[in-house]
Structure 1
Amino acid sequence: MPTLTRPEGSEPADFNVTRRTAAGLFFAGYAVAAVAADAAPITTPVDGLVIEKALIPNGATNPLPAYVARPAGTGRHPVILVANEIFGIHAYIKDVCHRLAKLGYVAIAPDFFYRSGVSLPEMTDIAKIRPIVEQAGVEQVDGDVRATTAWAKSRPFARVDRIGITGFCWGGAVTWRAAMVDPDIRAGVAWYGQLKALIPRAAELKVPVLGLYGGRDQGISAEDVQAMRAALKAAGKTGSDIHVYPDAEHGFHADYRASYNPAAATDGWARMLAHFRKNGVA
């Protein structure tokens, strides 16, 4: 079975996806560069939800596309931004949005890689995906996050005072940074995002972040996790912490990958929701 073992994508030798498997999950909308041969992804019904594509002004010539899932009907709801993996907005990210919307949230997944003009979920070669991801620089992505929260605050269905963010892999690092640079964010939950560049910036956190990491992650070392914990403590960020699942690999929440760990994924989801409730994003 293929296993995505690193936050920015596996090496070619890490997995081998058959053409038949790739074709099947491509038509289902999943990122074919990381699917498991025996994947059985969770699918959440969208009855009772409004699903739409938004175009968010962000100062660029072409506005930022975003996938939005929210409860149907009137009323305002808390908002959670969903920051994607390196594969863009594919079926897994959309389903995470559906799960959150079923719980009463407005879930917004910005397409941070839209400027490339290509569909990352359709690509099978990690070596070709990486340069596209690298083009999405820190300042650009952080600006897109701020544009998204500003847009959310202008919507009649959003609680402007209850905005959080969660992100997976590449999006985990986006989550840590959003808690540093976006004043509209109240809390963040980062799933196995790279830490090395963020450890020196721990004191910049404005709101609490919960990190969820795998003890068997081949791309994020135990030393980096411990260093971030120490940096959070030194900076007095008592509301932020990292929880490690000793037997989990990188991507343990991604139910379309061989790395999926149901026990860790379920526990992490519960911890995420509790973190948002505790910090006013509910």
Structure 2
Amino acid sequence: MTVADGSRMGGFLARPAGPGRFPGVVVAMELFGVSAHVRDVCERLAADGYVALAPDLYHRDAPMIELPHDAAGRERGFELLHRMTRDHALADVRAAVDHLRTRGCARVGMAGLSVGGHVAYLAATRLDLAAVIVAYGGWIPGTDIPLGRPEPTLALTPGITGRVLVLVGAEDHVVPPDHRRAIADALRAAAVRHEIAEYPGVGHGFLCDRRDTFDAAAAGDAWRRVRELLAAELAEHGSKHGSKHGSDEGPVRSR
């Protein structure tokens, strides 16, 4: 993909098997890059009938890097995160949305994991996204990272036009209680259609089965909510050909 600043951006794409035009979902990666977990999320979405594209948001500094889920991986991830500006992230998401539209995706939504959740929330304030899933998106009410500057991303909430699903654990240290309350208050004040699912006793990264914070029950409920949201806001509007579900052959992948 070519971004507006002229840079070339890679990513991971999974689509339903068989012919047809399907809705699209941009998947904003976690701190560790377009990791195996992010690719799994894309494939699950493709199996449900969506063209899922995870853009490489680190492409300017470390193209297609995949970091381990350990202390060294987190340290390197934070270095790269602090080089990711708001303008760059928005340009990257726009390029991903445009790419999905060239593949026939008339309606596009977005899902983001951790820092990708912040990117998804930000993108929802500026782009035409029918549905947005913010999975434990950190730093949204503050200015701690470049994505949250010059004003906090939360201050841009009135720009959201699509429906929002926030998924968060009650014990998430990255999204503490005051941040969760601020996000809920901002969505309510802006009259954004939204749902917040908070899971008691659950920490950060609970959707990722490669982390020790994985929680099968919370992940199962969260995926149910994701499917319901996407079905209502993307799939129910239909595609010109084919079913909203992928075939038994499984999703088709490309990098």
Q: TM-score range by the shorter chain?
A: 0.7 to 0.9
The residue aligned with 2:31 is 86
Amino acid at match of 1:188: V
Q: CA deviation at 1:59?
A: 2.7
Report Cα offsets for 1:225-255 as digits up to 9, x if no partner: 1122112222222x11321101110101011
- Find 1:232's aligned residue among 165, 184, 187: 187
Q: CA deviation at 1:72?
A: 2.5
The question of whether the paired residues in 2 share the 8 Å contact of 1:173 and 1:190 is answered with yes
Among all aligned residue pairs of Structure 1 and Structure 2, give the percentage whose two residues are the same amino acid.
Answer: 31
Report Cα offsets for 1:209-240 as digits up to 9, x if no partner: 11001100112111111122112222222x11
The question of whether the paired residues in 2 share the 8 Å contact of 1:175 and 1:188 is answered with yes
Q: Determine the C-alpha separation between the residues in 2 that align with 1:205 and 1:80.
A: 17
User: What RMSD in Å do the two structures reach over aligned CA positions?
Assistant: 1.6
- SS of the residue corresponding to residue 135 of structure 1 reads coil
Q: CA 1:119–1:80 in 2, change beyond 3 Å: closer, same or farther?
A: closer
The residue aligned with 2:220 is 266
- SS of the residue corresponding to residue 64 of structure 1 reads coil
Q: CA 1:205–1:67 in 2, change beyond 3 Å: closer, same or farther?
A: same
Q: Determine the C-alpha separation between the residues in 1 that align with 2:63 and 2:98.
A: 26
Q: Does 1:189 align with 2:172?
A: no
Higher relative contact order (CA 8 A, sep 6+): 2
Alignment gaps of 5+ in structure 1: 1-55
Q: Determine the C-alpha separation between the residues in 2 that align with 1:118 and 1:178.
A: 21
- Determine which structure has more spread, i.e. the larger CA radius of gyration: 1
Q: Determine the C-alpha separation between the residues in 2 that align with 1:281 and 1:142.
A: 25
Q: Determine the C-alpha separation between the residues in 2 that align with 1:210 and 1:224.
A: 16
- Find 2:177's aligned residue among 202, 222, 229: 222
> TM-score when scaled to structure 2?
0.82
Q: CA deviation at 1:171?
A: 0.4
- Which is further off, 110-119 or 167-176? 110-119
The question of whether the paired residues in 2 share the 8 Å contact of 1:79 and 1:281 is answered with no
Amino acid at match of 1:139: D
Q: CA deviation at 1:122?
A: 4.2
- Which is further off, 56-65 or 245-254? 56-65
- SS of the residue corresponding to residue 97 of structure 1 reads helix
| Structure 1 outlier segments of 4+, above 6 Å | none
Alignment gaps of 5+ in structure 2: 142-151, 237-255
> TM-score when scaled to structure 1?
0.74
